[in-house]
Structure 1
Amino acid sequence: MIARALRLLDAFQEPQEALSLTSLAARARLSKSTALRLARHLLDWGALERTDGGQFVIGLRLLEVASLAPRGHGLRAAAMPFLEDLHHATGQHVLLAVRDGAEAVLVERLSAHRAGRAAYHVGGRLPLHSTGVGLILLAFAPLDVRERVLEGPLTIEPGAPRVGPDELRRRIAAIRREGTATNTRELPEPMSSVAAPVTGPDGSVVAALSVLAPTGTFDPATARPAVVAVSRAVSRAIRARS
């Protein structure tokens, strides 16, 4: 029952998305009767809510629970003053992400007007092999995680050619040597980023932060010192809290 209820929650894929019972059941691969029975339990607990039109949306109770996650809210609280400084200094998107298995999860995103379109929302999942923060988290992940990603599909974006594992291995080695990562994507519009690691009390990488801006109006080399300085300041703040 718990597994099926979690499948209902996992059916929501976009912020503020509202689903009918039919759509909810189809995405969760459940019958409508089973989906409705489980949805009622989730409604009672507050994990789901219903709109005036009768559709299902994620409930506020989940936000309350998620705020207790130390790798989310706690990390964000320590990092936010420094992320805001970086955001104001660059006038561009600033991202903070953590690794969850073979993916990254965006913990915070500060966005700017006319800074280009950011493809990922807070709470959304990012690929490790094709985003700035993801490449940092991949480079400093355990070996088995790196190998799992290298053995998987390495497309950059829909319609783009596959990245070869040998090329990705070279990028990972360079990131581990240099301590920063740069990345460029073409869709939904050309964007470039520079990212650096955030370390915990034991020196291990616990998160990654980056500046993301439109390609052509942004020089990653110029932004790199500021990104590195902020990542080190966040790392010190985390150690002080510990």
Structure 2
Amino acid sequence: MAGGTSTPGATVVSRALSVLYAFDNTHRRLTVTEVARRADLPVPTTHRLLRELVAGDALVRGDDGRYAVGRRLWDIGQLAPERTELRNAASPFLSDIHAATRATVHLAVRDGFEVLYLDRLSGRASVPVVSRTGSRLPLHATGVGKVLLAHAPEEVRECVLAGRLRRLTAHTVTHAGLLRQQLDGVRRDGYATTTDEMTLGACSIAVPVTRPAPADNTPAADPDVVAALGIVVPTLKRARTRLLTALQVAAQGIARNLQ
């Protein structure tokens, strides 16, 4: 279930939200029956709500009869103040990195136990990249995800490490002990890398974006990591240092723009 409710006291708003929450990164296109099951609502009620949500451009209905989230919802989501500020602060730096490297560049944040991609500029090189703006991917299998997981609250890290680490390719790190060592290295070295872990033929390198220190320069126990900035390329063998430097400079610039 997606957290819906069919109780008699449920309001129209709560039922509509249950329908919307039925969609997620692994359930992008759903039939009426599938939405009803995930929203825990009767099929007739679900059908009526879907019809009204399509009329309001919140959802779209494909030729195959399946429903999907409409662009209007994504546009509304981008109005969230914190993420709007972050995207605006990062935009010129993402463009600079993209222009200099012609690689795919990502700006991402942690959303629960997943990576949420706030922005993406596609590279010219034929590197298999599955991320899209607005999509979510596992924390443990991506460069930006490892950065965000390394700097997440301890309870989040322990929950991920204690859970089932899904294998996306033969190279995905699914051993909790090895992943823990990698996360320790990310906090120590200030960056994360992956090689063929999310998709074969794609390597990534990523760094944290931190919120500026307090004006009184009071030292913080841990950096306030608000996002991760990453690049996806075919290989890191010859360009690791250059790409890392570009990311670190951009992350510092974004942090200044957040002041």
Which of the five TM-score ranges fits, normalised by the shorter chain? Answer: 0.7 to 0.9
| Structure 2 residue aligned with 1:180 | 191
1:40 deviates by 3.3
1:23-34 maps to which residues of 2 (within 5 A)?
Answer: 23-25=34-36, 28=39, 30-34=41-45
| Structure 1 residue aligned with 2:16 | 5
Residue pair 2:172, 2:198 contacting (<8 A) in 1 also: no
Residue pair 1:92, 1:115 contacting (<8 A) in 2 also: no
1:62 deviates by 1.3
Q: 1:191 to 1:59 in 2, by over 3 A?
A: closer
Structure 2 residue matching 1:189: 3-state secondary structure: coil
Residue pair 1:71, 1:98 contacting (<8 A) in 2 also: no
1:63-212 maps to which residues of 2 (within 5 A)?
Answer: 63-157=74-168, 163-185=174-196, 188-202=199-213, 203-212=223-232
Q: Which amino acid aligns with 2:106?
A: L
1:153 deviates by 1.1
1:121 deviates by 1.1
Over aligned residues, Cα RMSD in angstroms? 2.7
**Percent of aligned pairs with the same amino acid:** 40
**Aligned pair partner of 2:72 in 61, 65, 81:** 61
Residue pair 1:102, 1:145 contacting (<8 A) in 2 also: yes
Q: Which moves more between the two structures, 57-66 or 3-12? A: 3-12
Structure 2 residue matching 1:195: 3-state secondary structure: strand
**Post-superposition, which runs of at least 4 consecutive aligned residues in structure 1 deviate over 6 A?**
none
Residue pair 2:97, 2:105 contacting (<8 A) in 1 also: yes
Structure 1 residue matching 2:19: 3-state secondary structure: helix
Q: Which moves more between the two structures, 42-51 or 92-101? A: 42-51
Gaps of 5+ in 1: none
Gaps of 5+ in 2: 1-9, 214-222
Query: Structure 1 length as normaliser, TM-score?
Result: 0.85
Distance in structure 1 (CA, Å) of the matches to 2:170 and 2:249: 36
Post-superposition Cα deviations, 1:161-218, rounded to whole Å, max 9, x if no partner, equal: 7622111111111111111111112564321111000011355000001010113776
Q: Which amino acid aligns with 2:83?
A: G
Query: Structure 2 length as normaliser, TM-score?
Result: 0.80
Q: 1:162 to 1:213 in 2, by over 3 A?
A: closer
